[in-house]
Amino acid sequence: MEEKWFTDHPPSERWPHYTRANAGEVLPTPASPFGQSYGFDNCIMKGWQLGSTQTGFYELNEYRDSPPEMCGFFGGYFYINLSCIRMQAVRNPAITVEQLDLAIFGDQPDSPKYEPHPEDEKPHLQDLADAHMQFVLTASEWPELNEERKLADKERKERPNLGSLSDEELVKRLRDLQPLIENLSRNQMVSAGSSGIAPGMLAAVGEAIGDPSIPVRLLSSLGEIDSAAPSFAIWDMSRLVRGSQIISEIFDSHSDSLLDELKKSDSEEVARFLEAFNEFVYEYGSRGANEWELSSETWETDPSIALKAIDQVRSQNDDRSPVIASERLGRERENLIEEVRKKLNEMDNDELTGTFEGAITAANMMIFRERSKTTLVKPLHESRMAIRELGRRYAESGILDSAEQIFMLLDEELETFIENPGSFTKSLAKRHEDWKALWDLEPPFFIRDGVVPGLSQWDRKSLEEKASALTVGDVLTGVPGSPGTTQGKARIVLDPSNPPDLSPGDIMVAPITDPAWTPLFLAVEAVIVNVGAQISHAVIVSRELGIPCVVSVNEATTLIPDGSTLEIDGTSGEVKILELP
């Protein structure tokens, strides 16, 4: 193996620290050369850097020309530039670096320390930063995001018959989508960067009134979380299955071609289910495990993944409806808001009261973050469908050994490839072989001081040894994610597209989660995640669905034996071993 992957970025000299925290939710696996160069290098990361200048915490001349500097790729793995992101706290008096780290990256005791840099202070940006903070602290609506969603939906609605397009027309469609992807990335960055403000401000309020659980409890059940919407749809479809003997019998067959079996039925009940399922795939087909990576399967390219999720959820009783849980948490949140207001009034501290009221509104940035992300993955998915069609053609013609090898192209090689595809056969096959080898690497959690270890020094997942066994009574501590306490059987889930059988009462233990995992949240009582922070996907969705969640439980999937009985406290962040299998 070479010491460096050919698409890797040079580390930033200005901002030298990187982290996989939060980045693992975006791209848990190595990016394909096409996914990285087309989607990230030439679109998303450019949009992110443009978006960052809207906040008043950055200016474009701080960044190098190429490649983008706010994030990076090493060994094919995606990293967030920790040093760069911290400028949102350094240049923002409303939040500290420590609070930002906790909100975005989680509790990482070995995190590189913040060291001031002469160029960190940008007083001339203060007016713009103040204006942005005023927006964050007062915005209950963001109409621009709704307009952007219409643009993304339009691309899906007007998708041409890709099979009838020429190669040149497919490439043109890919090129036409890139400006939209870059533009949507702009506000996605603004909302994502701003979503750490409310947790930091609420932490300060909680400390002042002696209740550190305030951020966790007050950021629950915000409503209108777009990444949770598929779960509500899956719940409704699971009720159709549960309420129909005919559909249940088809699901009980556990056929490898469940969709085909459903289509064979002439039952009206099955027809209604298929109508709902087809609408679901049309609306949410862009979602899936690793949905930012163009080579990955989604619910449209492989509908069986969504059917497996419905199969997992159908065993739950009706009283586990996410609507019921969301309404309950919503009431609890409103009651807590009034309790805190009363305490602050008794303290007669106008500044702290202002901080609290601003934080309640700033929590909307979490809603906006999930909305902008959901919108962004739609044109990414349209790009996925176009490049997959090219891959299918050249695999069928024998020029490529498999359709997946089309993702070994670089973005700038597209036009040359369709002019002379045979000249790429050997090089793409070699890249594909080397890319697959990257999947066995365990990326360092931090890249420090711009020093990237050679790939031969990285740990190998295939050589990892099981961590030392826990004993009954041991307590693992992570970051509180979603409030509540429960007990249940631990189920280790490493792949959301092929989970073990989950039963009511189980607690899911996962490495990371993204929207593809969300339906599985409905099948369990609680969620534990290896990494994460207060604005991680697992936290936001657990709060919306009303189940306890603890993130940043280091090596939970390795330490906790499958089948052990756990007690989880999502408010304190503690996980206790009650019984071992």
User: Are 115 and 50 in the same domain?
Assistant: yes
User: Are 48 and 148 in the same domain?
Assistant: yes
Q: In this structure, are residues 289 and 24 in contact, taking their beta carbons and an 8 Å threshold? A: no
Rounded alpha-carbon distances, angstroms, from residue 152 to 38, 124, 174, 342: 18, 36, 14, 44
Angle subtended by helix axes 322-347 and 229-242, to nearest 10 = 140
Give strand pairing partners of 475: 576
SS (H, E, C) 547-570: CCEEECCCCHHHHCCCCCEEEEEC
**Strand-strand pairing, 71-74 and 441-442:** unpaired
- The tokens describing 99, both together, are 């609070």
**468 domain residue, yes or no:** no
pLDDT of residue 414: 98
User: Are 434 and 534 in the same domain?
Assistant: no
Alpha helices (H) in 285-321, listed in sequence order: 304-313
**369 domain residue, yes or no:** yes
Q: Residue 573 sits in a domain of what CATH number?
A: 3.50.30.10
User: Are 372 and 505 in the same domain?
Assistant: no
pLDDT over 90, % of the chain:
73
Strands in 67-217 per DSSP E: 71-74, 77-81
pLDDT of residue 539: 86
User: Are 434 and 480 in the same domain?
Assistant: no
- Final residue in a domain of this structure, among 412, 438, 464: 438
Residue numbers of the domain that contains 546: 475-579
User: Are 52 and 132 in the same domain?
Assistant: yes
CA distance 479 to 462: 28
User: Are 23 and 151 in the same domain?
Assistant: yes
Q: Give the DSSP per-residue string, 240-285.
A: HHHT-HHHHHHHHTT-TTHHHHHHH---HHHHHHHHHHHHHHHHHT
User: Are 483 and 402 in the same domain?
Assistant: no
- Final residue in a domain of this structure, among 392, 415, 438: 438
pLDDT of residue 109: 76
Short-list 227, 224, 251, 229, CA closest to 240 = 251
**Strand-strand pairing, 506-510 and 485-492:** parallel
| Model confidence, pTM | 0.91
User: Any residues with CB less than 8 A from the CB of 482 and at least 6 apart, and which?
Assistant: 216, 220, 527, 539, 542, 543, 546, 547, 548, 549, 570
User: Are 100 and 185 in the same domain?
Assistant: yes
pLDDT of residue 557: 92
- Final residue in a domain of this structure, among 410, 438, 466: 438
- The tokens describing 213, both together, are 């659980």
Look up tokens 């090219």; give the residue.
390
Alpha helices (H) in 397-483, listed in sequence order: 414-419, 425-438
Q: Give kind and range of the element (H or E) at residue 235.
A: helix 229-242
User: Are 138 and 53 in the same domain?
Assistant: yes
Peptide bond into 67 cis (omega under 30): yes
**254 domain residue, yes or no:** no
**565 domain residue, yes or no:** yes
Look up tokens 């459903």; give the residue.
262
Number of domains in the chain: 2
**393 domain residue, yes or no:** yes
pLDDT of residue 461: 86
**82 domain residue, yes or no:** yes
Low-confidence ranges of the chain (pLDDT < 50): none
**264 domain residue, yes or no:** no
User: Are 94 and 215 in the same domain?
Assistant: yes
Name the 3-class secondary structure at 112.
Answer: coil
**463 domain residue, yes or no:** no
Output 174-177 pairs: Cβ under 8 A, ≥24 positions apart.
174/38, 174/383, 174/386, 174/387, 174/414, 177/379, 177/382, 177/383, 177/386
User: Are 203 and 57 in the same domain?
Assistant: yes
